[in-house]
Amino acid sequence: MKYLITAKPGTTPIPMEQGAVFLQAGLDWINSKLADGTLDAAYNIIGGGGTGIGNAESHEEILGFLLEYPLYPFFSWEVTPLLDLDESIKKYIAFYEGVGS
């Protein structure tokens, strides 16, 4: 399953004296997840936060994945399951075709 993952700065800021260390750890983690295919893409958002496409077999697996992220406590998270475009549109087409019957 694919998930749209969006992180926005939370109420707890990254400590200034440790900011560079935390950000480097986060960048290293993201790059390792891109390399192993757990993430398909990752983007930064102007003003703070980021978004990406993640892969997991279940909602629980994606939660575990996010909890491993070194910056997890400093963000609020929105995770949205994604549908395959072709498969889902075909289901909608079948639905609408059935409505007219």
Q: What are phi and psi of 58, to 5 degrees?
A: -155, 165
Domain that holds residue 77: 2-99
- For the entire predicted model, the pTM comes to 0.88
* CATH number for 23: 3.30.70.1060
Which residues does 74 contact at the CB level (< 8 Å), separation at least 6? 9, 10, 12, 13, 14, 22
Helix residue ranges, H only, the chain? 19-36, 59-67, 85-99
Q: How many domains does the chain have?
A: 1
Quick: pLDDT tens for 58-97: 999 999 999 999 999 999 999 999 999 999 999 999 999 9
CA distances 101 to 73, 87, 89, Å, are: 52, 22, 19
